[in-house]
């Protein structure tokens, strides 16, 4: 199991955060199976191309596949890191984890559709017709995508809030409490970006509901970078 090997080697370990989840639980094993299935669902094609044209056609889909794969790995790594940090397996954590997996499986389809529509539409205009979206439907498409994104990080935020609530029983020190609160704030920022995108998706203009709504997610990198920089300064002050 990949998670078990990473955990054994200490991949992702943090100097300032003691790992409480040392053994891979059944919850994590089941979660990994679901994540693996979700990645399978975004595979461009399950059939081996029989002609060069089919091969070329399949290869063009790998741009969208690569982005979808990257996002799912990001979500999986966040999941991995949470369980390594806190090692929780209570009923509340189990329930939130089940909801997360449900949303991830739901999110796979709008994720693949949106990236296939945008990437292939820009790079390969002749493929745009395969993902037909009317001007009046662009906003709805972004609403569906945004709702999945919002729910995923809302659940991650709830998981970290639950860990924060159990900080005494988990024996979190001052630095670990600070890092837990920082993780909650990161989730809130990501949820806020999704909300802004969904609000823009409500406009009738295809430019606003489609282009501006989609490009809003480009704020993720700068937002998390600024937040990480500011919280990093305070963390270094705490460690001293």
Which of 34-48, 147-161, 220-234 shows the lowest per-residue confidence on average (mean pLDDT)? 34-48
Domain with 26 in it:
2-239
Max alpha carbon distance in the chain (Å)?
63
Alpha helix positions (H), 124-212: 138-165, 174-200, 206
- Strand-pairing partners, residue 14, are 17
- State the average pLDDT for the chain: 87
Report pTM. 0.89
Counted domains in the chain: 1
Which of 8-12, 93-97, 170-174, 230-234 shows the lowest per-residue confidence on average (mean pLDDT)? 8-12
pLDDT tens digit sequence for 126-169: 554 455 666 667 888 899 999 999 999 999 999 999 999 999 99
H or E stretch including 65? helix 62-86
Give the phi and the psi of residue 14 in degrees, each rounded to 5: -125, 135
Cα gap 69→114, rounded to integer Å: 13
For residue 64, pLDDT beyond 90: no
Please give the C-alpha separations between residue 109 and each of 77, 144, 172, in angstroms, as whole numbers: 20, 10, 38
For residue 170, pLDDT beyond 90: yes
Cα gap 76→156, rounded to integer Å: 11
pLDDT tens digit sequence for 3-23: 667 667 667 778 889 999 888
Q: In the chain, pLDDT over 70 holds for what percent of residues?
A: 84
Confidence at residue 43, expressed as pLDDT on a 0 to 100 scale: 81
Cα gap 222→25, rounded to integer Å: 35
Confidence at residue 195, expressed as pLDDT on a 0 to 100 scale: 97
């Amino acid at each position: 199991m990949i998670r078990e090997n990473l955990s054994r080697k200490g991949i992702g370990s943090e100097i300032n955060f003691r790992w409480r989840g040392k053994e891979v639980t059944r919850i994590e094993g089941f979660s990994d199976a679901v994540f693996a299935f979700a990645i399978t669902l975004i595979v461009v094609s399950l059939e081996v191309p029989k002609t060069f044209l089919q091969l070329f056609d399949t290869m063009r889909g790998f741009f969208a596949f690569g982005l979808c794969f990257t996002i799912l790995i990001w979500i999986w790594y966040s999941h991995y890191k949470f369980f390594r940090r806190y090692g929780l397996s209570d009923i509340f954590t189990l329930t939130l984890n089940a909801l997360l997996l449900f949303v991830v499986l739901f999110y796979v389809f709008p994720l693949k559709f949106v990236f296939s529509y945008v990437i292939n539409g820009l790079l390969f205009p002749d493929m745009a017709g395969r993902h037909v979206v009317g001007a009046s439907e662009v906003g709805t498409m972004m609403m569906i995508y945004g709702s999945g994104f919002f729910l995923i990080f809302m659940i991650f935020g709830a998981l970290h809030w639950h860990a924060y609530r159990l900080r005494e029983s988990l024996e979190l020190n001052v630095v670990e409490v600070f890092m837990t609160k920082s993780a909650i704030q990161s989730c809130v920022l990501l949820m806020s970006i999704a909300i802004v995108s969904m609000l823009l998706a409500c406009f009738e203009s295809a430019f606003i509901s489609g282009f501006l709504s989609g490009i809003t997610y480009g704020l993720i990198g700068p937002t998390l970078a600024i937040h990480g920089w500011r919280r990093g300064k305070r963390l270094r002050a705490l460690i001293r």
